[in-house]
Amino acid sequence: MVEQVATLPSSREFNPWPVVVFTCLLVLAGLFLAPTIGVILSSIKTTREIAEGGLWNIPTRLFLGNFVEVLANPAVHRYFLNTLLVTLPATAASIALGVLAGYVFAKLPFWGSNLIFLVLISGMFFPPQVILIPLFQFFNSLGLIDTLWPIIFIHTALGIPICTLLMRNFFATVPNSLREAAILEGANEFQVLTRVALPLSLPALAVLATLQFTWIWNDFLWPLIFTQSDEKRTIMVGIVNLKGQYSVAWGVQGALSLVASLPTLIVFLFFQRYFIKGMTMGAVKG
Amino acid sequence: MANLILKNVSKTFGETEVIKAVNLEVSNGEFVVFVGPSGCGKSTLLRLITGLEEVTDGQIIIEDKDVTHLKPSKREVAMVFQSYALFPHLTVAENIGFGLKLAKVPKAEIVARVKEVASVLRVESLLARKPRQLSGGQRQRVAIGRSIIRQPKVFLFDEPLSNLDAALRVVMRIEITRLHQNLQATMIYVTHDQTEAMTLADRIVVLNEGRIEQVGAPLELYEKPANKFVAGFIGSPAMNFIKGTVETADERMFARLGPHVMEINKPDLKPGLAIEVGIRPEHIAIVAPEEGTLTAEVEIIEKLGVESMLYLKTEASQDLLTVRTDPRQTIRTGERLGLKLPVSECHFFDQKGNLV
Ligand SMILES: Nc1ncnc2c1ncn2[C@@H]1O[C@H](COP(=O)(O)OP(=O)(O)O)[C@@H](O)[C@H]1O
Ligand SMILES: [Mg+2]
């Protein structure tokens, strides 16, 4: 097909690169989509159909029993609630702290602030395995094992570097004269932040909200380490737990996986419209 | 009554002293223009008055109150920024009313006052727009509106017209003059453009390297510059400077300008002193070659309509001399002319640039 197009007589020189790039992208898209398609296919089949025809068979009819089972399961409700109880505060706290720190680094630098910034950012490069055992011992000594608190704290802390980095860089693009104009109008530093800098930084906030929400929602490691009882599990650990209850329930697991990924999808779609550039356009110059 | 007093105000950034012991009194309702070359410290001086920068030394007094260590918002000054600094996410009305809202003024009053200011600045039809939907001149008006609504004691303008094109600059210049007449407010206006300074100011403060070179009314600076810097900075085209030395002969004093001499009436000057003679382009008289103090050859003629500029090569100076003439002159390039320099119109400076 590609060769055919290439040998067609053409007034312009044929450029093969778009075709190559497009083909590569198609292949990659297929590879990335394959697991999702597998999960969708298994979620709409009965356990029997899966056992007989395998995972990849196209089912002859739509079976929604897996979804009904998942949505009616009180354990699943608990998982969802727990995940929300972790994700919402940790997302909000990490962004709030990143906003405050980023504003100081961008607009109120002090002696040594650049060094502190670097140290803070380097936190991004710690592999979680390194801090896992000390953290476990720490929260154990506080008696917080099998609660949601350690997960909230850890995700808040782990989110601070990226939130600070992004917010600092975004605040740096807000002209200093806007801050000074607001101050001359009587604003204090906090009002400059809330009334001028933040409204101009909606794109950065939207990116961070999506990023942090997705990352924390989908996390498997920390809830696995810090929770033990089923009542404290989050959704990602819950998907695995379902296996124990219903032999290997591929269909139910597939259905729960899809349901579990819905909130991140919704968050993305909601914030997507703020991912626009040029918010500061028109602030200065003519 | 003095509205603003600067006493020995200094500002140092790290090692560099940017403002050097500036003393100034501005009266109530006066329009004062700070003028000087780029980097001379004009903006810094304004920022010291607003409180956006802290003075290193000295005192700032606004209406008999020492504000040296007060926060910017407590000084009751307003500033219009070179970049306008409008809040891009707010409408024109919200921009103008920003300070009132922060001060928790009742909503109805804010609306009324914004309307009033908008009508003064003729931006009523734009109140619902965002800054990016405005032209440069409209943005400038909104920025001025934001500054006047709180009725500050001192208005500060930092090169407010430098982002506008030449035609709009003239229009806005007139509007600012009108605004000053209407408000009768104390205004301090910064510019590097001496034409703007001359046209707007009641009084001009010429700054150079963080120091005040001279303070005075526009014509005073034009006619009696205190030093070579002011003489060269004020006036367009700039004053001509010719290097020379003082000589005496027969009890009379002369200035030797290259191969030429001109008689001067400066009995206190010592023979042999190196001086510079400054003379404005309109004061050089053109005569026949043999009658002039200097002889010159026309190199370039600029015809501006209302007048013509001649750029002349002489043996007295390496730089071309500028002469302003009647546009109906029939002088051509390459022609030889005589030039007369009336002593009464000449300014004499020593090598340090001070008037002698
Ligand atoms: N925050 C600062 N830190 C260090 N140097 C500064 C700062 N602000 C201004 N300067 C220096 O002070 C001098 C005067 O600047 P400025 O007042 O902006 O000049 P102008 O407005 O007359 O062009 C310049 O040499 C500038 O580099
Ligand atoms: Mg400046």
Interacting residues of A98 by C-beta distance below 8 A, sequence separation 6+: A159, A160, A162, A163, A164, A165, A166, A167, A208
The mean pLDDT value of chain B amounts to 92
Q: Where in chain B is the domain with CATH 2.40.50.140?
A: 240-349
Please choose, from the candidates B280, B160, B220, B123, the residue with its C-alpha nearest in 3D space to the C-alpha of residue A181. Answer: B160
Strands (E), B239-291: 240-249, 252-257, 260-264, 274-279, 285-287
Name residue A224's amino acid.
L
In this structure, of A9-13, A40-44, A171-175, A210-214, the range with the lowest mean pLDDT score is A9-13
What residues of chain B, 293 to 332, have a C-beta less than 8 Å from chain A? none
Which of A178, A183, A279 faces B73 most closely, judged by CB atoms? A183
Helix (H) / strand (E) element for A193: namely: none
Residue A134's pLDDT band (boundaries 50, 70, 90)? very high
Q: Could you tell me whether strands B31-35 and B203-208 are parallel, antiparallel, or unpaired per DSSP bridges?
A: parallel
Please choose, from the candidates B176, B29, B155, the residue with its C-alpha nearest in 3D space to the C-alpha of residue B80. Answer: B155
- Integer Cα distance of A22 and A34 in angstroms: 18
Preceding amide of B237 cis, omega within 30: yes
Q: Can you name the residues that pair with B13 across neighbouring β-strands?
A: B16
Name residue B266's amino acid.
K
pTM of the model: 0.83
- Integer Cα distance of A38 and A100 in angstroms: 43
For tokens 């608990």, the residue is: A78
pLDDT, residue A279, reads 43
Mean per-residue pLDDT, B228-243? 94
Helix, strand, coil percentages in chain A from 3-state DSSP, rounded to 5: 75, 0, 25
Q: How many CA atoms lie within 13 A of A83 on its CB side?
A: 27
Q: Which two tokens stand for residue B144?
A: 């001025």
Q: Could you tell me whether strands B336-340 and B285-287 are parallel, antiparallel, or unpaired per DSSP bridges?
A: antiparallel
Residue A286's pLDDT band (boundaries 50, 70, 90)? very low
Distances (CA, A) of A117 to A93, A169, A220: 19, 12, 29
Residue A241's pLDDT band (boundaries 50, 70, 90)? confident
Indicate whether residue B43 lines ligand 1 (CB < 6 A). Answer: yes
Indicate whether residue B37 lines ligand 1 (CB < 6 A). Answer: no
For A23-57, the pLDDT digits (tens) are 999 999 999 999 888 888 888 888 778 777 777 77
C-alpha B120 to ligand 2 mean position (Å): 28
- Integer Cα distance of B255 and B261 in angstroms: 6
Nearest ligand, CA of residue B162?
A: 2
* ipTM > 0.90 for the complex: no
Q: Where in chain B is the domain with CATH 3.40.50.300?
A: 4-233
Residue A282's pLDDT band (boundaries 50, 70, 90)? very low
- Top CATH class of B4-233 equals alpha beta
pLDDT, residue A276, reads 59
- Integer Cα distance of A14 and A10 in angstroms: 7
Indicate whether residue B191 lines ligand 1 (CB < 6 A). Answer: no
For B216-226, the pLDDT digits (tens) are 999 999 999 99
- Protein residue with its CA nearest to atom 16 in ligand 1: B41
Interacting residues of A221 by C-beta distance below 8 A, sequence separation 6+: A128, A132
Q: Would you call B44 an interface residue with chain A, using a CB distance cutoff of 8 Å?
A: no
Is the separation of the CB atoms in B206 and B212 below 8 Å? yes
- Integer Cα distance of A82 and A216 in angstroms: 12
**Any idea how long chain A is?**
286
Mean per-residue pLDDT, A56-85? 88
Residue A3's pLDDT band (boundaries 50, 70, 90)? very low
pLDDT, residue B292, reads 87
Q: Please report residues of A whose CB lies closer than 8 A to that of B86.
A: 282-283
Name residue A140's amino acid.
N
Q: Please report residues of A whose CB lies closer than 8 A to that of B145.
A: none
Is the separation of the CB atoms in B355 and B334 below 8 Å? no
pLDDT, residue B55, reads 95
CATH number of A72-279: 1.10.3720.10
What residues of chain B, 165 to 224, have a C-beta less than 8 Å from chain A? none
What residues of chain B, 98 to 117, have a C-beta less than 8 Å from chain A? 98-99, 102-103
Q: Where are the domains of chain A?
A: 2-53, 72-279
Q: Give the torsion sign (CA, A206, A209, A212, A214).
A: negative
Q: Would you call B13 an interface residue with chain A, using a CB distance cutoff of 8 Å?
A: no
List, edge to edge, every strand of the sheet that includes B274-279: B260-264, B252-257, B240-249, B274-279, B347-349
List, edge to edge, every strand of the sheet that includes B321-325: B285-287, B336-340, B294-303, B308-314, B321-325
- Top CATH class of B240-349 equals mainly beta
Min CA distance, B184 vs chain A (Å)? 21
Mean per-residue pLDDT, B232-245? 93
The mean pLDDT value of chain A amounts to 87
Q: Which two tokens stand for residue A134?
A: 């000390």
Q: Which two tokens stand for residue B135?
A: 């032209």
